[in-house]
Amino acid sequence: MPQPLSGLVVLDFTTLLPGPLATLMLAEAGAEVIKVERPGGEEMRGYAPHHDGESAFFSLLNRGKKSLVLDLKSGEGHAALSPLLARADILVEQFRPGVMDRLGLGFEAVRAINPRIVYCSISGYGQSGPRAVIIELGARCAACADGPDRFVAELDDNTAAKEHDVGQLGKRSD
């Protein structure tokens, strides 16, 4: 029996917890998720504990996804990414506001390649406004915290992931 999101293609430009968790849930519902990583791989690949040479955290949050290493600052990286952008249904990014624009991959640039794409930006305080420049590192700060702060930070990241998915699915049903 096909899964509910079979046939959807998701480009995943996320790291750490909220974005990878959001795209994991999409993958588990049948979407083809392609995780785009920088040369050298995502930072979480180095996080302990390791099992069979792989970070347990990275493996848990990125199971069922394809991985593609691209230098998004190079012409070769953009050339390799262009056909994927053209066929993707959803793009999820988790950079600081403005980074995707500087890479030539902001909403308008991607929409010019693929007008039907659903483009989701995950950030701590939105893409504009006075707090947009504040970097929210809930999962990273949680790893350093003791007591209830750890739970609260991780709850925030998990909630962000779930709200992302509900929004994406709602947009796809339009």
pLDDT of residue 123: 75
- pLDDT per position as a tens digit, 2-39: 899 999 999 999 998 888 999 999 999 999 999 999 99
| Per-residue buried b or exposed e for 18-41, using 16+ beta carbons within 10 Å of the residue's own CB | bbbbbbbbbbeeebbbbbbbeeee
Distances (CA, A) of 159 to 7, 66, 73, 166: 26, 24, 31, 11
The pTM assigned to this predicted structure is 0.79
What structural domains and CATH numbers belong to the chain?
9-172 (3.40.50.10540)
Average pLDDT value for residue range 148-160: 45
Q: Please check whether residue 53 is in contact with residue 43, taking contact to mean a CB–CB distance below 8 angstroms.
A: no
